[in-house]
Each structure stands twice: as structure tokens, then as C-alpha cells.
Amino acid sequence: MTLKDSLIAALVPIFLGFGFVIAKPAMEYLPPFLLMGLRFTFVALLLVWWFPIPKGYLKRIFFASLIANTIQYSITYTGLDLIDASAAVLLVQTEVPFGVLFAFFMLKEKPTVRALIGIAIAFIGVYILTGSPNLDGKILGVSLTIIGSAVWALGQVLVKPLSKEINPLALVAWLGLFSGPILIGLSAIFDGNTINYFKNASFESWIIAIYLGFIMQPITYGCFYYVLKRNPLYKVLPIVTMGIPPTGLLAAIFLLGEEPTKELFVGGAIIIIGVILIVFTKPKKDSF
């Protein structure tokens, strides 16, 4: 990976970790489905005009958006809404071990012994982290966050081939165009009157939604798909995944006033150790 690609990849965890955490207070006014719907609709409105319709790819993009955006974000952010952001930002690191498992079953990418040890260690860390007093009685939120991480990993298996054939920002735009309206529609079904949420939303929640859609989404996933197009995932993951926990934890502590427990720090550290073992293991061929 070149220095340029490394610096571009480093932008992803900075914007993503910060955005993941600040989404939590916005969900006091805009439910997870609606907030994510606005996020993807905003990025689509920003970018889709600049790129031609990717004819021949629309079915694949729609299916990828259904998994990687619509289902994944609705599950993950519903989980975030139910637990502390500091815990959620560590639990989403299970995306990496899930990614290895999906690569094995779907792409026949055989994991190394070191990667298997890393997967085991990461889930031991999850077990310890869930013992935190802050998560007592919040098994639903924990479960949804972990399930969302698994769905994200599955989504990247679908997006990876598309990232090699479509302009990164065009891919972000069309994924958002498909998933945004669907999520807003699901919010209307499950959450109730969407117009009332719009009317009652605070100024701060609208600023957060604008940041997520117009700033964070195009920058993070535009950079991610750009680097992913040029490099194997095993080279990109160390930079992206290792930067999210410190960024997210600092944002949760200083912006939301959360006080992570020792179980969270210990469990989170073990998860990260497991992830390091996985992402710094070079597979036999390009993965995911």
C-alpha cells in the first residue's frame, strides 16, 4: 500500500468513529431507521447527479445496498440506541472476525491458524465486555450490535467486486439512493408519523444528520472504496479498524460524558488483540 493510500485510509476511522458516536444523541429525536434513511438520502442527493447510471450493475448494487446499508445500519444503529456508544464502538470490531468467516464460506478463503486464534480471542473479549455493569439488562442492544457487525461483513463481500468496477463515489451515491428511501419508508411503518419526527427534531439532531449524510458518508466510504479498489482488504483493514476504537471512545467520553467500566476496557482490549491477529495475517490470496 502506498503512503497516499495509507493516508486516505486513515481518514475513514477518524470520521466514522466520531460519526458513529454522535449519532446516538440524534436518535433521541430521529429513530435509527429514519436517521439512517436521511443519511443515505442526503449522500445520494449530493452525489448521484455527477455520475451516469451504472447500467448493468443496478441489480447487484441494489442487493448490496439491501445487505450492506438497509439491513446492516438499521440493525447496528438500533443496537447503538439501546447501549452506550463506548461499548458499541468496541463491539462493532467483531466485523473483522465475521469477515474472515464469510470469506471462508462464500469465497473459499481458508483462514490461517493465527486468524482462527484471533477470532477466538476476539469473541472472548466480547464475552468479558458484555459483563460490564453498563450493559446489564441490555442483551438486546448488544446482540443487535454484534448481528449488525456480521451483516456489515457480509455486505463487504458483496461490495468488494463492485468497488473494482464502479467509481467509489458513484458506488456510495447509488448504494445510498437505493437504501435511503427504503429506510425512511420502514421508519414510517415501524416508528409512526415521519412528519412529526421532522417537526420535533432538535437543531442539533438535524446538524448531526447533515454531518452523517453530506460529510461523513461520502468521505468515509468514498475513501474506503477507493483504497479497497486499489489494495487487498487485508492491507486496508488494519488502518481502518484500528483507528475506530480510540476515536469512538474519546468521542463517547468527552462529547457524551460516558464513563467506560474496567470490563469494557479489558474486554475491548482483548477484542482488539484478536482483531490485530486477524488483520495482520496475510491470506493466501486477496480476501473478501
User: Residue 96: its pLDDT value, please?
Assistant: 79
Q: 82: domain range?
A: 3-279
Q: Is residue 76 in a domain? A: yes
Name all contacts of 103-107 with Cβ < 8 Å and 24+ positions apart: 103/157, 103/283, 103/287, 103/288, 106/157, 107/157, 107/287, 107/288
23 domain-assigned: yes
pLDDT, one tens digit per residue, over 183-216 is: 999 999 999 889 999 999 999 999 999 999 999 9
Q: Do 220 and 168 form a contact (C-beta atoms < 8 A)? A: no
286, part of any domain: no
Q: How many domains does the chain have?
A: 1
Let me know if residue 288 belongs to a domain.
no
Question: Does residue 210 lie in a domain region?
Answer: yes
High-pLDDT (> 90) share of the chain, %: 41
Tell me the one-letter amino acid at 154: L
Residue 285 covered by a domain: no
Q: Is pLDDT at 255 greater than 80 in this prediction?
A: yes
Q: Single out the residue of 8, 88, 86 nearest to residue 257, CA to CA.
A: 86
Tell me whether residue 287 is in a domain: no
Please check whether residue 141 lies inside any domain of the structure: yes
